[in-house]
């Protein structure tokens, strides 16, 4: 198990976050020499905003005692888009709420969904996933690609890109 997978397993309990293999990682994506900034996309067309992943991960690790590497934690949360209410609630949330996938904070940030639901490309550069814990995650494609170590997002979300095909919709990285 890679270090990222090991930390991902630890973070699986945090806010119901499970890394989903359909999320622009693994072997999906074409290679390219393009580059992209990792500054974060901010708000989506739906009004969702980026989490403050650095502050959240600092709290999880230093205050809540989670054993994770700061950068791996940031890479896990950096691509997520949430409501402004969720983002506002995180700085004052108790550790018990931050580390539970059944707390009111988790429900606010990552609403329940039916496991096994296929990912959905939203047309605004985001992909909605239903995690194995039954929580909805909305990932920014550009930031997901950067967090997964690619240089850029291809601009494509779906089941096909160039000559490649995937079983479920995903963000295609390069």
Q: What is the pLDDT of residues 31-79, one digit of tens each?
A: 222 222 233 445 555 689 999 999 999 999 999 999 989 999 999 999 9
Quote the mean pLDDT of the chain.
79
Instruction: Give the number of other CB atoms < 10 A from CB of residue 102.
Output: 13
Angle at 94 between CA 88 and CA 95, to 5 degrees: 115
Q: What is the pTM of this model?
A: 0.74
pLDDT at 45: 55
pLDDT at 32: 28
- For a pLDDT cut of 70, what percent of the chain falls above it? 74
More confident residue, 83 or 12: 83
Q: What is the pLDDT of residues 109-130, one digit of tens each?
A: 999 999 889 999 999 999 999 9
CA proximity to 87, closest of 47, 147, 123, 119: 47
């Amino acid at each position: 198990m890679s270090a990222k997978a090991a930390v991902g397993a630890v973070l699986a309990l945090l806010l119901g976050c499970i890394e989903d293999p359909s999320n622009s990682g693994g072997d999906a994506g074409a290679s390219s020499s393009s580059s992209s900034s990792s500054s974060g996309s901010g708000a989506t067309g739906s009004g969702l905003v980026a989490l403050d992943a650095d502050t959240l991960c600092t709290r999880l690790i230093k205050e809540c005692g989670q054993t994770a590497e700061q950068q791996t934690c940031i890479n896990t949360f950096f691509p997520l888009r949430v409501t402004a209410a969720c983002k506002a609630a995180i700085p004052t949330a108790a550790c018990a709420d931050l580390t539970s996938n059944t707390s009111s904070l988790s429900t606010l940030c990552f609403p329940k969904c039916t496991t096994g639901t296929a990912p959905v490309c939203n047309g605004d550069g985001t992909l909605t996933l239903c995690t194995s814990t039954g929580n909805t995650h909305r990932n920014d494609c550009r930031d997901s690609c950067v967090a997964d170590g690619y240089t850029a997002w291809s601009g494509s979300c779906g089941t096909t890109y160039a000559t490649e095909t995937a079983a479920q919709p995903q963000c295609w990285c390069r």
